[in-house]
Amino acid sequence: MATDDLFSLVKSLNAAEKRYFKLYAQTHTSGSEATNYLLLFDAIDKQPEYDEEAIKKKFRKEKFVAQLTFTKNVLRNKILDSLCSYLAGGKDSTVEFDFRQALNHLTVLYRKGIYPQMEKDLKRLKKMALDYEMPQYSLHLLQWERRLLLDQTDKNITAQLEDIIEEETRALALLQNNALFKQLHDRLLVSLKVRIRAKDMQAVAEMEQLLQNPMLQTEDNALTLQAKLHYHEIWSFYHWRTGNFEQMYLHHKRLIALWESNDDIRRELKHEYRKALCNFLNSCHAYKQFADYPPTLEKINALASSDLPTEIKIFHISFYHQLLYYLNTFAIQDGVKAMEQRFAQLNEFKEQIHTSRLLTIYYNITLLYFFAHQFADALTWLNEILYHPRADARKEVRQTAQILQLAIHYELSNQDILENLHRSAYRSLKNADDLDLFERTLLTNFKKLATTNEFDKKALQNCFINFDRELEELLQQNPQQHLLGWFEIHTWLKSKIARKPMPEILPAMVE
């Protein structure tokens, strides 16, 4: 069924906003009108999909149905008015929102002729515009200041007027500088993003040409914090695409320092700050700077979430990177303890986490248990991947899980089902047209292990050694190929051959 603007707006409201609207409607609308709007609001809120015919049928005896389009438009505007009122008095209010209201207040004060109060407000607001680097509002405020000044026809105002003109010139320069860096930023990240992902060499050349812009040669050309942020985002994106992870990391590190140099702007743009922290973690991972992980994760977790979607986002971002940290620093037992404390939240939020991210989290949990030799727990989480209804969202994770389960079942001595698992994995991979040499090697060797007498230690050891040798030869033959699951199985084999736990083997595996 078709949707419409009012339905989308109603469905976007959370419980607190709905309660506030109903109170607002009752206090800002006459009795009969308020009743009509609330009846229509509740009816739309209860619909899973918008059905206007059902609305007309339900209220066929009500007068407002004769002008339903008009009534819907008025209701939509009243909901928006209530949201503005709600935001203005709540913790989600922003400085930009406050500025817009303050400009309306200045208009009221001017019309009432209360000029002394205007002058007080203008002084306070001009400072706030400077503190938050909002030259667009500085210009609005200077217009009011000029207007008040020009009304004073009995005074010599030449010096004051020149001061205002000078302030306007500075504000315009900052606004233009911001706009220029924003344009360069957006051209790079939006216009070229898709083509660069496809490794379009022409797109890379265009990007490098754009980076020749004189304004991008030094941070000093950026006159505001926002412009400096755009400058470093541009260069970090470029270095990421060209594989220079050291420079990418350094630009992201500078980005965080800039964000943390201005408490006012960081609080105002907390969502953008959170994104910067997440991007910094990505650069830390790429450049192997894992010492930066714990303090950065603390900053992300400390960010206040005023709504459930933000809380969920902060949770899955921090949990994903926390798992990466423990895996990459080989702190396996610490990782197991830390992640188990977050399972309750994961279970609570899993339906709202994007499938691709959720499957990756499941796999990293599996790996921590696998490397900790807690194979029963590893199997539990591996099955969350294998039996997930949308497992194809991360095809490579699902296929790697199909291979890894063979090692897990081997460790659990499930010899009776290992052969069946071998056939199932073989058939699944073959049907997906992805049964390459690497996967054939894995399946063949796991079949050998399954058919080797478990009490013949020498034969088993030879199987492990031959299996490991074949994997190493395969990697030497395909040095540029990223073999999903190779590291996990290779680590497991080295552990079996050396008769040492995997946490002791892991550091040597990445040297």
pLDDT averaged over consecutive 10-residue blocks of the chain (511 residues)? 76 89 83 81 91 89 86 90 79 82 93 94 96 95 94 81 96 97 89 55 78 95 97 93 93 98 92 94 95 95 80 92 96 96 96 94 97 97 94 87 89 79 62 63 84 87 94 78 81 94 91 66
Residues 54 and 124 grouped into a single domain: no
Choose one of 179, 194, 224: the last residue of a domain. 179
Residues 99 and 173 grouped into a single domain: yes
* Residue 272: inside a domain: no
Residues 83 and 29 grouped into a single domain: yes
Quote the DSSP letter at residue 188. Answer: I
- Contacts of residue 110, defined as CB under 8 A and 6 or more positions apart, other chains included, come to 118, 144, 147, 148
Helix axes 115-131, 135-150, angle to 10 degrees: 160
- pLDDT given for residue 392 in this prediction: 86
* Residue 78: inside a domain: yes
Residues 37 and 83 grouped into a single domain: yes
C-alpha to C-alpha distance for 240 and 245, rounded to whole angstroms: 6
Q: How many CB atoms lie within 10 A of CB 19?
A: 12
Residue 320: which of 279, 372, 358 has the closest Cα?
358
* Residue 22: inside a domain: yes
Residue with tokens 């990445």: 510
Choose one of 163, 179, 195: the last residue of a domain. 179
Burial class (CB in 10 A: 0-12, 13-18, 19+), 445: buried
Residues 70 and 100 grouped into a single domain: no
- pLDDT given for residue 195 in this prediction: 54
C-alpha to C-alpha distance for 423 and 443, rounded to whole angstroms: 9
Q: Characterise 39 by phi-psi region: left (phi > 0), alpha (psi -120 to 50), beta (else).
A: alpha
Residues 21 and 68 grouped into a single domain: yes
- pLDDT given for residue 485 in this prediction: 83
Residues 118 and 174 grouped into a single domain: yes
| Structural domain range at position 173 | 95-179
* Residue 280: inside a domain: no
Q: How many CB atoms lie within 10 A of CB 328?
A: 15
Contact at 8 Å (CB) between 96 and 76?
no
Residue 229: which of 177, 192, 191, 194 has the closest Cα?
177
Helix and strand totals (H; E) in the chain: 27, 0
C-alpha to C-alpha distance for 289 and 268, rounded to whole angstroms: 29
Q: Two tokens at 389?
A: 């209804």
C-alpha to C-alpha distance for 116 and 433, rounded to whole angstroms: 78
* Total structural domains within the chain: 2
* Residue 492: inside a domain: no
Residue 290: which of 281, 301, 298, 299 has the closest Cα?
281
* Residue 46: inside a domain: yes
* Residue 148: inside a domain: yes
- Contacts of residue 301, defined as CB under 8 A and 6 or more positions apart, other chains included, come to 314, 318
C-alpha to C-alpha distance for 259 and 255, rounded to whole angstroms: 6
Contact at 8 Å (CB) between 289 and 249?
yes
Q: Two tokens at 365?
A: 């949990």
Choose one of 88, 117, 145: the last residue of a domain. 88
Residues 79 and 114 grouped into a single domain: no
Residues 37 and 74 grouped into a single domain: yes
* Residue 119: inside a domain: yes
Residues 104 and 165 grouped into a single domain: yes
Residues 170 and 137 grouped into a single domain: yes
Burial class (CB in 10 A: 0-12, 13-18, 19+), 71: buried
Residues 17 and 47 grouped into a single domain: yes
Quote the DSSP letter at residue 64. Answer: G
